[in-house]
Amino acid sequence: MSEQSFPGWHGTTIIGVRKGGKVVVAGDGQVSLGQTVIKGTAKKVRRLSPGGQDVVAGFAGSTADAFTLLERLETKLEATPGQLQRAAVELAKDWRTDKYLQKLEAMLIVTDGASLYVITGAGDVLEPEHDVAAIGSGGNYALAAARALMDGDLDAEDVARKAMAIAADICVYTNGSLTVEVISG
């Protein structure tokens, strides 16, 4: 549907922070429809365990689309055990070339504790240069805050929590109700 015919789902800030041998993925809980908050405690960060692997994924965008992508990612992980990068690349290739998947409106941050990636519908699998990745409506605010906090004494979880608090103060589509998953590399 076009933006004019439907006010659109907005909201979500997801951040991934790698520091001190740990990766933290945190996401806010707000789901908005137009200018209305529909839910404040949505869980947009999930732990996946296909084939005994431990992977954490956070999503921004349409919830149904994100769940479709998470299911596809789990399938790719089962086919390539222990190879998150390969699974992410295979998902991105499918997402870019499959006519059904091309219509999906979501982005993912995924980690296995060692690697951290952003996966997009444009076929991108991006690894952040500064050990911080963020997506969603408040992603740029959280990213800037986290990058500023990375040089201090805070651990990965504290950086993620503080960056998310800053994003929630600035972005009207982001709240302070967090889901936080920590994974070691």
* H-only helix segments in the chain: 63-79, 84-97, 99-102, 139-149, 156-170
Residues recognised as catalytic: 12
**Over the stretch 75-91, which tens digit does the pLDDT of each residue have?**
999 999 999 999 999 99
Q: Which pLDDT belongs to residue 153?
A: 96
pLDDT of 8 strictly over 60 = no
- Say whether pLDDT at 2 is over 60: no
Which of 35, 39, 40, 32 minimizes the C-alpha distance to 10? Answer: 32
Question: For 121-144, how does the pLDDT look when each residue is reduced to its tens digit (9 = 90+)?
Answer: 788 999 999 999 999 999 999 999
Domains in the chain, please, with CATH?
A: 9-178 (3.60.20.10)
End-to-end CA distance of the chain: 41
Residues 80, 84: Cα–Cα separation, whole Å = 8
DSSP 117-154: EEE-TTS-EE--TTSEEEEETTHHHHHHHHHHHTTSS-
Residue with structure tokens 């993925």?
25
Q: Determine the 3-state secondary structure of 33 from DSSP.
A: strand
pLDDT of residue 102 exceeding 90, the answer is no
Residue 10 is predicted with a pLDDT of 54
Average pLDDT over the chain reads 89
| CA quadruple 175, 179, 184, 185: dihedral sign | negative
pLDDT at position 7 is 42
Which pLDDT score, from 0 to 100, does residue 98 have?
Answer: 76
Q: What's the pLDDT tens digit per position in 9-64?
A: 457 899 999 999 999 999 999 988 888 899 999 999 999 987 778 999 999 888 88
Whole-model pTM? 0.91
Q: Report CA torsion sign: 75, 81, 84, 86.
A: negative
> What is the per-residue pLDDT across 156-167, written as a single tens digit (0 to 9) for each?
999 999 999 999
